[in-house]
Amino acid sequence: MEKTAEQPLVRWPPQGEARVPYRVFAEDEIYRAEQAKIFQGDTWNYVALEVELVNAGDFKSTFIGNTPVIVVRESDGEIYAFENRCAHRGALICIENRGTASEFQCVYHAWTYDRKGNLVGVAFEKGVRGQGGMPDSFCKEHHGPRKLRVATLAGLVFASLSEDVPPLEEYLGDDIVGKINRVLFKPLEVIGRFTQVLPNNWKLYAENVRDTYHASLLHLFFTTFNITRLSQAGGVVISESGAHHASASVKTPETTSSTDTAYDAHRSSRDGYRLHDASMLASQDEIGDGIHVQILSVFPGFVLQQIQNCLAVRQIVPRGADSMDLHWTYIGFADDTPELREMRLKQSNLVGPAGYVSMEDGAIGNFVQRGIAGAHDMESVIELGGFEAKTQDFRATESSIRGFWKAYRAYMEV
C-alpha cells in the first residue's frame, strides 16, 4: 500500500543527514520506491562508454536501477536508448551483453524493433491464410518499449527515463564536470571488464565510495605503501545538491611513510611489509596536477576512479534490498605507450573482488547488512567533519556521505 505524505516510507531522525535509519537498507517496500522515485525519476544514469558504441549498430545491454535497457549507435551517428522489454509480453528484446545489430528481435514471438526502439515488425501480423492475425485497429506506432533521453560527456553515456531531468552538465554542476574532464581528457580504450556480485544493499556501496574516512583504515595496503592517507593533502568537492562528489589525495614530502606519524595510534599499516615485485607501485603523473587518487561519484550509481594510473568506471546495479551487482570497466587512453598500458594493467590488481585494496569493500557491505539485521529501528552516526554536506579542503570527513543522503531524501521525499 502506498504511503501518504503524512505517513512517509521512513521517518528520518531529527539530526538530518548525520543519522541514517538502518531500515532504508533492508525493506523491500523502500527498494521498490527507489526504483520509481530515483532510478526512473529525475536522474541521469550511466549506461555506457562511447568507445563501446563506435560503429553504427554497436549496442550494449545494461540497467538503470533494475530496469533493463539497450543502448545503441544508429547510422545517423546518434546514440539511442530504450527499455529492453518487448511491448508484446514483456520478455527481454535483447539477451546479449553487447554486439552489433541492424535490428533487435524478441526471441519469444519475433516482434522486431529498429535501433531507435520503434516496433517495426510483428510476426504473423496479418495472420496465416487469411485467418487470425492482429485486429485492424492494431497500430505498431502505438506500441513499443519506453525510450530514454541520452546525453554524453567526456566519452561517458548517460540516460534518463525522465522528461524533466535538467541537462546533464546542469545536473552535475561545474565542479563535477571539471573533475570528470580532468581524468577523461583524451579518447578512451576499454582494457578490461568484470561484474562483481555484492551481498548488500546498493546504498551501502554508494556510501562506501563517498567514504574517505575508511579508505586508509580498512585498506591496509593504502597506508602500508603510502598510496593514500588522510594526512595527505587533498579534500572533497560536493555538488550543491549533495548528490555528486569528488575526493582527491595529493602526496607531499611531509606525508611519506617514513615521516608521517598520524597513523601510529591505529592498526592501519603493516610495517616492514614489502612486495616481491614493487613495479605495480610505480606511477606517472600523467595529468600533471599531483593528484594521485581521485574517486568521483554521480548520483545515484556511477563511480569514476583514478588510483594512480589505474582508471575505471563502476556502475551500481541494484538487485534487491540486500543485493547488487557492480559492473567494472577498466580504461586507458587510445594513445597509451606500451609502458603506460602495462603500468595500468599492473595497477588494476589494486581493485576489484581480489584487489590488494578493494577486496575489503566486497566484504564490508555485507558485514553491515548482517550487523543491522536486528536493528532496523536504529540508525548510523555520520558526524565526522561536522553535520553539513559541503565541500571541504580535508578528507577526515563524512561530508560527501551526508551529501548522498541529502539528495536521497529529496528524491524519496523523506
pLDDT tens-digit profile of 175-209? 999 999 999 999 999 999 999 999 999 999 999 99
pLDDT at residue number 260: 60
CB of 368 within 8 A of CB of 170? no
pLDDT at residue number 269: 57
Question: What phi and psi, each to the nearest 5 degrees, are found at residue 169?
Answer: -65, -35
The number of CA neighbours under 13 Å toward the Cβ of 346 is: 15
**174 class by beta-carbon count within 10 Å (0-12 exposed, 13-18 middle, 19+ buried):** exposed
Instruction: Choose among 228, 189, 199, 200: nearest CA to 212.
Output: 228
- pLDDT of residue 230 exceeding 50: yes
Higher model confidence: residue 216 or residue 10?
A: 10
Instruction: Provide the CATH topology of domain 172-412.
Output: Naphthalene 1,2-dioxygenase Alpha Subunit; Chain A, domain 1 (3.90.380)
What pLDDT, in 10s, does the model give residues 294-349? 999 999 999 999 999 999 999 999 999 999 999 999 999 999 999 999 999 999 98
Higher model confidence: residue 395 or residue 358?
A: 395
Taking the C-alpha atoms of residue 173 and residue 195, their distance in angstroms, rounded to an integer, is: 29
pLDDT at residue number 407: 98
- pLDDT of residue 409 exceeding 70: yes
Q: What is the torsional sign of CA 17, 20, 24, 30?
A: negative
Residue 167 pLDDT level (bands cut at 50, 70, 90): very high
- pLDDT of residue 355 exceeding 90: no
**259 class by beta-carbon count within 10 Å (0-12 exposed, 13-18 middle, 19+ buried):** exposed
Query: How far, CA to CA in Å, does 315 sit from each of 163, 209, 226?
Result: 22, 12, 27
What pLDDT, in 10s, does the model give residues 206-225? 999 999 887 777 676 777 77
CB of 152 within 8 A of CB of 50? yes
Stated pTM of the model: 0.92
Higher model confidence: residue 387 or residue 276?
A: 387
Please, which residues have CB within 8 angstroms of residue 288's CB and are 6 or more apart in sequence? Answer: none
Instruction: Choose among 175, 295, 188: nearest CA to 234.
Output: 295
pLDDT at residue number 258: 52
Taking the C-alpha atoms of residue 73 and residue 115, their distance in angstroms, rounded to an integer, is: 8
38: left (phi over 0), alpha (psi -120 to 50) or beta: alpha
152: left (phi over 0), alpha (psi -120 to 50) or beta: beta
Q: Domain segments of the chain: what residues?
A: 45-153, 172-412
The H or E element spanning position 196 is strand 188-198
Instruction: Choose among 287, 339, 337, 333: nearest CA to 308.
Output: 287
Q: Give percent of the chain with pLDDT exceeding 90.
A: 79
Instruction: Choose among 19, 17, 403, 42: nearest CA to 237.
Output: 403
- pLDDT of residue 1 exceeding 50: no
The answer as to CATH 3.40.50.1820 being correct for domain 45-153 is no
CB of 205 within 8 A of CB of 369? no
CB of 365 within 8 A of CB of 199? yes
- Cβ atoms < 10 Å from Cβ of 273: 10
The number of CA neighbours under 13 Å toward the Cβ of 196 is: 23
What pLDDT, in 10s, does the model give residues 335-345? 999 999 999 99
- pLDDT of residue 46 exceeding 80: yes
Instruction: Choose among 202, 20, 319: nearest CA to 10.
Output: 20
Query: How far, CA to CA in Å, does 67 sit from each of 36, 40, 62, 107?
Result: 10, 8, 8, 19
> For residues 284, 286, 291 and 293, what is the CA-based torsion angle, rounded to 10 degrees?
-70
Residue 270 pLDDT level (bands cut at 50, 70, 90): low
Higher model confidence: residue 272 or residue 407?
A: 407
- pLDDT of residue 262 exceeding 70: no
